[in-house]
Structure 1
Amino acid sequence: MADPANELQTVRDYLRYVCSRFSESTLFFGHGTDNVWDEAVQLVMRTLHLPLENNTLFLDARLTLTERELILQRLSRRIDQRIPLAYLLGEAWFMGLPFYVDERVLVPRSPLGELLESRLQPWLGEREPGRILDLCTGSGCIGIAAAMVFEEAIVDLSDLSPEALEVAAVNIDTHGVSDRVSTVRSDVFDTIEGRYDVILSNPPYVDAEDMADMPAEFRHEPELGLSAGDDGLEIAHRILAQARGHLNPGGLLIVEVGNSWVALQEAYPDLPFTWLEFENGGDGVFLLTAEDLETAGL
C-alpha cells in the first residue's frame, strides 16, 4: 500500500484526506467541533500552526516530510485511540482564546463563554465585579476569559485537582494575567475565603447512567471533572448549600449542570432558578442571586 506521506503534498491534499478518513470512521465530535470538516481543518491547520480562518492563501502550499508525518500520526491516534483532538494538539479554544489542555483537564466546551461575551448582561447591570470566582476551574478557561472581559476584576481559579491547577497556571501565564488571576486548591468552598460579586462554575454534573453510556472520547478526560454521583447533583448540592456565604449583596451565582437540570429543579422547588438560554447551543445553566439563596433559606 502506498504511503500517504509520499503521495499527499499540499495543505489541500491533507484537508481532503483527513475529511475522507474521518467520514469513514465512527468518531464522536463534541470537544470543540461537531462535524468532519471543522475537525479536519483544526487538525491540519493547527498542526501546521496556521490560522483557522482566512487561510486559503496556504491551501496549495507544499508540506515538509516532518509536517506530513505529524498530521498522519495525529490522524491515526484520533481515529484508532479516539483521543480528543484538543489533547493531540495541546490546544483548545474558548471564547475565541487559545488555552493549553492535556488529559489532566476537561476540554473546554461550556456555554458560559457566550454569557461572558455579553458581559453577564442583563443580570449584572451597571455594576463592575471586583472579585470573581471560577469554581471547579479545570484549565482555567472560564475564569481567565472573565478576567479578559472584566479588566479590573480579581479572579480566583479553584479546583480540587492539583494537576488541573498546574494546567490553569500555564494558561494564566500564557494570557499574561498573573497580576489579577491566581489559583487556589479547594474541595468546592472548603478553603475559599471572602466574598465575590460573581461565582461561575462548570462543576462535575454527569450522572451514573450517562457516564456509562459516554462515547470513547470522554474516557480520556479525568473522571473527577465529569462524574457527580447517581443523579449528577453531588457537587451542585454542595455549591447551593455554601454559595450564599461567599457572595456579596447582589452577587450572582451561575452554574452549569447540563442534563441534570430537571433533577435539580425538582430537588429545590422553592428556589427561583433562572435557566439561561444560548444562541450557540447549550442548556442546563442556572443563575441565582445572593438574595434568591437567602430568601430560600440557603
Structure 2
Amino acid sequence: MTRSVGDGLSDLRGRLAAAGIEGAPREARRIMAAALGVAPDRVSLMQTDPLPAEAEDRLTGMAARRCAREPLSHILGLRAFYRHEFRVTRHVLDPRPETEMLVEAGLGAPFERVLDLGTGTGCILLSLLAARPGASGTGTDISDEALAVARENAENLGVTDRCELLRSDWFTAVDGQYDLIVSNPPYIAAWEMDMLEPELRYEPRGALTDEGDGLTAYRAIAEGAMDHLRPGGRLLLEIGWRQGPDVSALLHAHGFENPRLLTDLDGRDRVLSAARPLTAP
C-alpha cells in the first residue's frame, strides 16, 4: 500500500532522531522535499498526498546516507551560506554558519581586491564579491576538484568575470597586493580529529587538519601576508577557539600590530583581524 507524504515524513523524522541527528524534523522536511522535487515549504501542504514510488526510492537512499551521518549538504549537493546557496561535494569543506562571521568582518570596511587562501567551495570569496559589485578577487586551493566546485559556484552567483581561481599552495602562485586577505585554513590538530562529529569523516581531511599542531597554515600565511597586502590592508583568519594567542603571536612576529580577536555568538574566539601598518615595519 502506498504511504502518504505525512507517513513517510514521520518515519524519517524518527529514523534521523534515532541516529542522533540534531534538528531531525527540519532535516527530514528537506530530505522529503528533495525526494519529491519540491521546495521544503511545500511539504507541509502535501501531508495527505500519496508518496510516489520513485520518490519513495529516492527517500530510502537519502535517508540511509544521512543516518550513516553523511552530511546533508553532500546528499542534497547544496549548502545555504550567507544569502546564497553553494554547490558542495565530497571534495570541499562543508561551509559552516560560523564562517559567515568572516564574511561579515570582511564587509566591515571597503576593499577593491580580495584574496581567499584555501577557497574550497569559494563561499567566502564569492559572498564577498557578490556583496561588493565593484570588487574583484582571487581564490586559491591546492585541490583541482575544489577549484572546479568554486568555479561552478562563481558562475551560479554571476561573479566569474571578477573572480580568478588559482591552484596554489598558499601564496606560491599569487602575484600582486590586495586590500583584504581572508582564509579559513585547516586548523584542527591531529590529536583532535578522533573527537570530531561523525559527519566530518566525509569531508576532505586535508581541509580540516595539518596532521600536526593545527598552526601550520597560520605560519605560512603569517610569513607571506605582509608582502601581499597593500599598506593598511586587512588580514582576516578564522581560527579554532583556543588558538587566538598562538596565531596572534605569529602575526605579531611578522610585523602585524595589535591583532584583534572577534568572538562568535557563543562567546568563543572565531576570527582574528590584523592589518598591515601604513608605514613599513
1:83 maps to which of 70, 80, 87: 70
Structure 1 residues without counterparts, runs of 5 or longer = 1-5, 28-33
Are residues 245 and 58 of structure 1, via their aligned partners in 2, closer, same or farther at CA, if it must alter by over 3 Å?
Answer: farther
Letter in 2 for 1:200: V
1:215 aligns with 2:197: yes
1:51 maps to which of 36, 39, 45: 39
Query: What is residue 108 of structure 1 aligned with on the other side?
Result: 95
CA distance in 2, matches of 1:56, 1:199: 44
2:26 maps to which of 27, 38, 51: 38
1:276 maps to which of 224, 248, 262: 262
Q: TM-score, normalised by structure 2?
A: 0.88
Number of equivalent positions: 277
- The runs of at least 4 consecutive aligned structure 1 residues that moved more than 6 Å come to none
Letter in 2 for 1:106: L
Query: What is residue 193 of structure 1 aligned with on the other side?
Result: 175
The Cα offsets for residues 131-178 of structure 1, whole Å up to 9 and x where unpaired, read as 111110001111111111111111211111111101111111222211
CA distance in 1, matches of 2:59, 2:272: 40
1:149 maps to which of 120, 131, 136: 131
Query: What is residue 170 of structure 1 aligned with on the other side?
Result: 152
1:25 aligns with 2:24: no
1:95 maps to which of 78, 82, 93: 82
Are residues 194 and 48 of structure 1, via their aligned partners in 2, closer, same or farther at CA, if it must alter by over 3 Å?
Answer: farther
Letter in 1 for 2:32: V
Query: What is residue 251 of structure 1 aligned with on the other side?
Result: 233
Structure 2 residues without counterparts, runs of 5 or longer = none
Letter in 2 for 1:76: A
1:241 maps to which of 220, 223, 241: 223
CA distance in 1, matches of 2:275, 2:13: 46
* Stretch moving more, 266-275 or 36-45: 266-275
CA distance in 2, matches of 1:239, 1:292: 19
Q: TM-score, normalised by structure 1?
A: 0.84
CA distance in 2, matches of 1:117, 1:284: 12
In percent, how many aligned pairs have the same letter?
31
CA distance in 2, matches of 1:290, 1:46: 47
3-state SS of 1:62 partner: coil
CA distance in 1, matches of 2:216, 2:106: 29
The Cα offsets for residues 255-280 of structure 1, whole Å up to 9 and x where unpaired, read as 11223514625744945221112348
After superposition, the CA RMSD in angstroms is: 2.5
Native 8 Å contact 1:244 1:293 kept in 2: no
- Aligned-pair CA distance for 1:293: 11
CA distance in 2, matches of 1:191, 1:228: 20
CA distance in 1, matches of 2:215, 2:8: 44
Native 8 Å contact 1:257 1:285 kept in 2: yes
Native 8 Å contact 2:107 2:128 kept in 1: no
Query: What is residue 31 of structure 1 aligned with on the other side?
Result: none
Letter in 2 for 1:195: Q
Query: What is residue 74 of structure 1 aligned with on the other side?
Result: 62
Native 8 Å contact 2:251 2:259 kept in 1: no
